[in-house]
C-alpha cells in the first residue's frame, strides 16, 4: 500500500515539477475558467439589471453558478487527459509502462493531478465572481460540496473514456480531449432548464449526471430548497458511467497490449 | 546456451518458451525460445525488422504474446508481471524521459515509481557513475543525445535491477563514454550478479560484453552461441562479419 502510494506520488510529482517551473502552464490552468466567468458574469449582470421578468437577479446568479460549476467538469476532464497526453508528447509512456506502476495507479495519479488543477483553476474565477458580481459560490452551504464532487466525477469518467480512445486511436485522437466535454454542454442543461430541450432530447440529457446537478442547482438558487432526489440521481448516474468508463479503459488497455499500441501510441 | 532445462529455473533471469507474436498481416516473432541465466549477458541481434523490439516488448510486458510463455526472475509475465518489473529495468535511446523536467527530477520521479530507498543518495551515486553531476539541474530536453543516453542508463540502474534490458545502450556516445559505460555494465554484472539482455548493432560491443548471442532473422532464431563459437562456425574474423553473413544469407 505504501509503495503504491509512493508510485502514485511519483507520477503526481512529475507534473508538479513541470508546472512549478512554467508560469504560462500555471496561468493556463486558470485562464479559461476566469475568461468564461468574465464573459458570462457580465452577461448575467446585464440580464439582472436590464431585463425585468421573473426574478432576474436570481437567474443571473444561476447563470454565474452554472458557468463556474460547469468549469469543474471541463477542468477535471482536461486535467486527466492533458496529463496523459503530456506522457504521449514526451514519449515517456514506454518507461512508465515498464515500471511497476499499475494501470490503476496511473489512473489515480491522473485523477489527483486533475483535482489539483481543477482547484487551482477555479480559485481565481471564484474570487472574481465574488469581487465583481457579489456572487458567493458557497453561500448555499456545505451542500455545494456534493455538487462539486458530482461534477468532478463526471469530468473524470468522461476523461477516462477519452484516454481509452487514445489507447485505441493513438495521438491522432487527441482533438477529442478538447472537444468531447464541450460537445456534451448542450444536453448538460447548464444554462437553461431541462424543459427547454425538445422532448426527444430530454431522455439523453437525463442520462447524464450534469442535467440533474444543474436542475438541482437551479432549484437551490431560485427556490432555496435542496433537491436531494436530483443529487442522488446524479450520484447514481455518475457511478454507472464511471464503472462503464473503467470497463472501457481496462478493455482498451488490454487491447493496446495485444496490438502493441503502448509502444506506438505517440506516432 | 542450453535450452530449455539445462539450468535450474531459479538460475534463469529470463525463460522464453515458444514465443510467437502474430499481427493481422505480419508474423513478427515465430516460435522463439531462449533462456538468460543470472549473471550472464545475452546479446539479442538481428537486422531491422528481425523481431528484436517485439521480443523485448514482450519480455517487458508491453506486448502480449500470441502464444508462448515468458518467465522473468521466476515470475510468469502473464500473471504477475509487476513483481518482475519491480526487479528489472530498461533503457532505450528511443524512449524519452520528460523533456521539461531536470535530470534530477526525472531520476526522482522514477525513484518513486521503483520505490528506491535513500533516493537522494542513490541519485548522487548514479550521477557520479554516469558522469551526470554537472547535468543534474539541466532539463532533459536540453541535453545532447549522448547525455540523454547516460541519463536513461542512470534511470535503468536506479532500482539496482537483477535484470537489465538494454536497447542500444551506447548509441550516440563518444568512444570514451561508450567504453566507460561498457565497463560500468561489466562491473555491475560482476558486483551484483545481474543478468543483462543487450540489443546492439555495435558488434565490437557484443564481442566484448556478451557471453552468448541469439541471432534473429524474420522473427526466428537464425543461430545462437557464444561470440567465439559463432565466429568459428562461420569461419569469420569477427561478429561484424558473422552478422553480415547471416543477415545477407537466403537461408534462415
Q: The domain that contains B226 carries what CATH number? A: 3.40.50.300
Domain boundary among B160, B188, B208: B160
CB contact under 8 A, A9 and B112: yes
pLDDT at residue A33, rounded to an integer:
77
* Within a domain: B3: no
Compute the nearest-CA separation of A27 from chain B (Å).
17
Shared domain for B25 and B134, answered yes or no, is no
Shared domain for B68 and B175, answered yes or no, is yes
CB contact under 8 A, B109 and A17: yes
pLDDT at residue B55, rounded to an integer:
96
Buried b (16+ CB within 10 A) or exposed e, B141-178: eebeebbbbbbbbbbbbbbebbbbbbbbbbbebeeebb
pLDDT at residue B9, rounded to an integer:
60
B155 touches A: beta carbon within 8 Å: yes
Do A241 and A154 meet the contact criterion of CB atoms below 8 Å apart?
Answer: yes
B99 touches A: beta carbon within 8 Å: yes
Compute the nearest-CA separation of A131 from chain B (Å).
36
Shared domain for B183 and B238, answered yes or no, is yes
CB contact under 8 A, A11 and B60: no
- Burial of residue B250, with CB atoms counted within 10 A of its CB: 0-12 exposed, 13-18 middle, 19 or more buried: exposed
* Within a domain: B1: no
pLDDT at residue A266, rounded to an integer:
62
Shared domain for B147 and B167, answered yes or no, is no
User: Residue ranges of chain B with pLDDT lower than 50?
Assistant: 1-6
pLDDT at residue A152, rounded to an integer:
96
From first to last of its 267 residues, chain A has per-residue pLDDT tens of: 688 999 999 989 988 888 887 777 777 777 777 777 776 766 666 566 555 455 666 667 777 888 889 999 999 999 999 999 998 888 888 889 999 999 999 999 999 999 999 999 888 888 888 888 888 888 888 899 999 999 999 999 999 999 999 988 887 777 777 778 878 888 888 888 888 888 999 999 999 999 999 999 888 887 888 899 999 999 999 999 999 999 999 999 999 999 988 877 765
Q: How far apart are CA B192 and CA B173, in angstroms?
A: 25
Shared domain for B28 and B72, answered yes or no, is yes
Shared domain for B105 and B66, answered yes or no, is no
Pairing mode, strands B12-23 and B26-37: antiparallel
Domain boundary among B112, B142, B160: B160
Total domains in the fold of chain A: 1
* Within a domain: B2: no
**Full residue range of the structural domain in which residue A66 is found:** 2-264
* Within a domain: B58: yes
**Full residue range of the structural domain in which residue B146 is found:** 99-160
* Within a domain: B94: no
Shared domain for B142 and B184, answered yes or no, is no
Closest Cβ opposite residue B62 in set A9, A254, A257:
A257
Give every strand in the sheet of B75-76, ordered side by side. Answer: B26-37, B12-23, B67-72, B75-76
Q: How many CA atoms lie within 13 A of A31 on its CB side?
A: 7
Q: Looking at this predicted complex, what is its ipTM?
A: 0.88
* Within a domain: B203: yes
B62 touches A: beta carbon within 8 Å: yes
pLDDT at residue B6, rounded to an integer:
47
CB contact under 8 A, A99 and B85: yes
Shared domain for B200 and B81, answered yes or no, is yes
Give the residue among B147, B101, B97, B98 at the shortest CA–CA distance from B127: B147
Task: Residue B138: list chain A partners with CB under 8 A.
Answer: none
* Within a domain: B93: no
Shared domain for B81 and B166, answered yes or no, is yes
Total domains in the fold of chain B: 2
Shared domain for B227 and B182, answered yes or no, is yes
C-alpha cell at B45: 541481434
Amino acid at each position: 500500500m505504501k509503495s503504491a502510494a509512493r508510485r502514485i506520488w511519483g507520477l503526481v510529482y512529475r507534473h508538479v515539477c513541470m508546472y512549478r517551473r512554467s508560469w504560462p502552464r500555471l496561468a493556463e490552468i486558470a485562464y479559461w475558467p476566469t475568461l468564461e466567468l468574465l464573459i458570462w458574469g457580465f452577461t448575467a449582470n446585464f440580464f439582472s439589471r436590464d431585463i425585468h421578468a421573473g426574478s432576474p437577479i436570481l437567474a443571473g446568479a444561476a447563470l454565474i453558478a452554472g458557468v463556474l460549476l460547469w468549469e469543474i467538469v471541463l477542468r477535471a476532464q482536461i486535467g486527466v487527459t492533458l496529463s496523459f497526453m503530456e506522457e504521449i508528447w514526451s514519449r515517456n509512456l514506454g518507461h512508465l509502462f515498464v515500471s511497476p506502476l499499475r494501470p490503476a495507479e496511473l489512473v489515480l495519479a491522473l485523477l489527483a493531478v486533475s483535482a489539483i488543477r481543477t482547484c487551482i483553476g477555479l480559485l481565481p474565477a471564484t474570487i472574481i465572481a465574488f469581487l465583481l458580481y457579489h456572487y458567493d459560490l458557497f453561500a448555499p452551504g456545505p451542500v455545494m460540496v456534493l455538487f462539486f464532487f458530482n461534477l468532478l466525477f463526471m469530468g473524470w469518467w468522461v476523461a477516462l473514456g477519452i484516454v481509452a480512445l487514445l489507447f485505441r486511436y493513438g495521438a491522432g485522437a487527441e482533438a477529442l480531449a478538447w472537444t468531447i466535454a464541450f460537445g456534451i454542454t448542450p444536453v448538460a442543461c447548464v444554462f437553461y432548464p431541462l424543459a427547454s430541450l425538445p422532448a426527444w432530447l430530454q431522455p439523453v440529457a437525463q442520462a447524464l449526471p450534469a442535467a440533474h446537478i444543474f436542475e438541482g442547482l437551479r432549484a437551490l438558487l431560485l427556490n432555496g430548497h435542496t433537491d436531494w432526489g436530483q443529487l442522488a440521481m446524479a450520484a447514481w448516474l455518475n457511478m454507472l458511467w464511471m464503472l462503464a468508463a473503467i470497463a472501457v479503459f481496462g478493455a482498451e488497455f488490454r487491447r493496446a497490449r495485444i496490438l502493441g499500441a503502448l509502444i506506438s501510441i505517440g506516432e | 546456451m542450453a535450452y530449455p532445462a539445462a539450468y535450474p529455473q531459479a538460475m534463469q533471469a529470463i525463460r522464453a518458451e515458444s514465443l510467437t507474436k502474430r499481427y493481422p498481416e505480419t508474423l513478427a516473432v515465430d516460435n522463439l525460445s531462449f533462456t538468460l541465466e543470472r549473471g550472464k549477458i545475452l546479446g539479442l541481434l538481428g537486422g531491422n525488422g528481425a523481431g528484436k523490439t517485439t521480443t523485448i516488448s514482450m519480455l517487458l510486458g508491453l506486448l502480449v504474446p500470441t502464444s508462448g510463455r515468458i518467465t522473468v526472475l521466476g515470475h510468469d509475465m502473464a500473471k504477475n508481471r509487476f513483481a518482475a518489473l519491480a526487479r528489472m529495468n530498461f533503457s532505450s535511446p528511443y524512449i524519452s524521459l520528460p523533456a521539461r523536467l531536470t535530470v534530477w527530477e526525472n531520476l526522482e520521479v522514477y525513484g518513486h515509481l521503483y520505490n528506491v530507498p535513500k533516493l537522494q543518495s542513490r541519485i548522487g551515486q548514479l550521477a557520479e557513475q554516469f558522469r551526470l553531476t554537472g547535468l543534474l539541474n539541466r532539463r532533459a530536453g536540453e541535453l545532447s543525445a549522448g547525455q540523454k543516453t547516460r541519463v536513461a542508463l542512470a534511470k535503468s540502474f536506479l532500482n539496482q535491477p537483477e535484470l537489465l534490458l538494454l536497447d542500444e545502450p551506447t548509441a550516440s556516445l563518444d568512444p570514451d563514454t561508450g567504453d566507460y559505460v561498457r565497463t560500468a555494465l561489466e562491473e555491475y554484472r560482476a558486483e551484483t550478479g545481474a543478468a543483462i539482455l543487450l540489443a546492439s548493432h555495435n558488434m565490437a560491443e557484443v564481442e566484448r560484453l556478451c557471453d552468448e548471442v541469439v541471432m534473429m532473422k524474420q522473427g526466428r532464431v537464425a543461430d545462437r552461441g557464444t561470440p567465439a563459437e559463432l565466429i568459428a562456425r562461420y569461419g569469420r574474423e569477427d561478429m561484424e562479419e558473422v552478422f553480415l553473413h547471416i543477415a545477407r544469407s537466403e537461408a534462415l
